Amino acid sequence: MPADLSDLMLLPIDRTGGEPLLRQVYRELRRAILSGALPPGGKLPPTRALAERLGVARNTVVAAYEQLLAEGFIEGRVGAGSFVSCDLPDGLEISPPEPPRQMPSPPPPANPFGTLPFSTGRCALDERSLRIWRSLTLRHLQRPDPEMLGYGEPGGPAALRQAIARYLKTARAVRCEPEQVVITAGAQQAIDLVLRVLLRPGDPVWLEDPCYPAVRAALEAARARVVPVPVDGQGLEVAAGVAAAPDARLAYVTPSSHYPLGVVLSMARRMELLAWARAAGAWVLEDDYDSEFRYAGRPLASLQGIDGGGRVIYVGTFSKVLFPGLRLGYAVLPPELLDPVLTMRRLTDWHPATLYTGVVTDFLEEGHFGPHLRRMRRRYTTARDALADAIRGHLSPWMEAEVPEQGMKLIARLRPGLSDRDVEAVAARRGIAVRPVSPMHIAVPPLQALMLGFTGHEPGALRHAARELAAALAAARLDV
């Protein structure tokens, strides 16, 4: 028996695993060819003989040969049999894949954006808004616009951009034309596009400290040099940023409601920040992620609206005001950044999803959005107050609540001696999703506090969760 035939007769076949026999025969034949055990021009055994030796059906071997033939590994010669292809290049051997690198890490915490009590970023399901949404969706599906089901423009549909521009001018004092609005798959994509266009590896970027973790990760992915700038009761300490990196390329800020602490950037600091950006030729990226939810007075005007130098890039989202599954955000760009960002958009996902843009446009243009926001503010105010009362009534031995005037979350500062990570672990064992604030710090001494979401949760559920957490902390003996 020729040596090559003997080798094939010893193909390792595993009958105890779940891999199909056809796949195993094909893989081992290919491996013999790629390793040189079967050289170019070498003859393969007849399918019947190989099937009998391996103890498999002949059809299994025939199918494996046919797959190798289709891929060019073997060739058939009429009346002579099957042979290893002579057209394969030398040195084709494929090395076995390296095993995946093991990355030891602790078990992930409960999803902060999930459904557990105190999870953040949740939106209440408003029955009236849902009925309107269903009606608008049905209208568009019954008479679909061809543009809704086809490829779109990189910036998004003109009608939606016009509607968003009108809304932002009225509600947020943003100064823009519809052409400056770019529709994105949420705020995170808008931020990513801007970073791709503006930053080169090593560019210094001011980042609030503590910070929004997803933006820090995006900056690190862009290989920017993160410059942590402390935040105090008036927001970003601009003077500290100037001292640390006066030549920064970009400053990322959440001026209407700092993430995570919730403080508002004072007017003096806003003017100081804009003056630095103009003098340094830098850009300011304003993330206005939940500004619609202000519970005392009117929503604050945007930073972009007082920028006379065209240095502010404004980013917003419908994830917080409608629902996250919509995946719809937007950026308002200074004119000189519009073409570069649209070019980058074409190179990534080309254009936003078009199926629901008509529904969102009608929701805005037909006057449904304003009443929806007013209903949400009333519900969220009730939920916020219920959570604050529950903390005072059940959790005061361990923490003190800071009742926010805006936003979707509450910061509970822990009593001295307590660790927010320890409290997170205790809460997770009870199915409660508190989020520690200390990991969001970069350079400043970390604050031991918890971020507790109250939107999208019923007041009774919040009160029950507070009692459960108190019982868990008492049982764990996390005393101050």
CA dihedral 290, 295, 297, 303 (to 10 degrees): -20
Number of H helices, E strands in the chain: 15, 14
pLDDT value at residue 105: 41
The whole-number pLDDT of residue 104 equals 41
pLDDT digits (tens, 9 = 90+) for 369-400: 999 999 999 999 999 999 999 999 999 999 99
- Give the list of residues 6+ apart from residue 466 with CB closer than 8 angstroms, or none: 387, 390, 391, 393, 394, 395
State how far the Cα of 368 lies from the Cα of 361, in Å rounded to an integer.
10
3-state class (DSSP) for residue 402: strand
CB atoms within 10 A of CB 227: 20
* 375: CB partners within 8 A, 6+ apart: 126, 128, 129
Q: How far is Cα of residue 129 from the mean position of the Cα atoms in its chain?
A: 26
Distance, C-alpha 287 to centroid of its chain: 15
Q: With H, G, I as helix, E, B as strand and everything else as coil, classify residue 245.
A: coil
- Predicted TM-score (pTM) of the model is 0.77
Cα angle: 299, vertex 168, 148; to 5 degrees: 135
pLDDT value of position 151: 82
Report CA 447 to chain centroid distance, whole Å: 25
Q: Give the pLDDT of residue 451.
A: 96
Task: Tell me the pLDDT tens digit for each residue of 82-111.
Answer: 888 887 766 555 444 444 444 444 434 445
CA dihedral 390, 393, 394, 397 (to 10 degrees): 130
Q: Please, are residues 222 and 200 in contact by the beta-carbon 8 Å criterion?
A: no
pLDDT of the residue at 100: 46
Is residue 182 within 8 Å of residue 155, measured between CB atoms? yes
Q: How far apart are CA 221 and CA 101, in angstroms?
A: 20
Determine the pLDDT at residue 236: 97
Residue from 183, 137, 178, 163 nearest 356 by CA: 137
CA pair distance 77, 177, nearest whole angstrom: 70
Spans in the chain with pLDDT lower than 70? 1-10, 17, 89-114, 299, 478-480
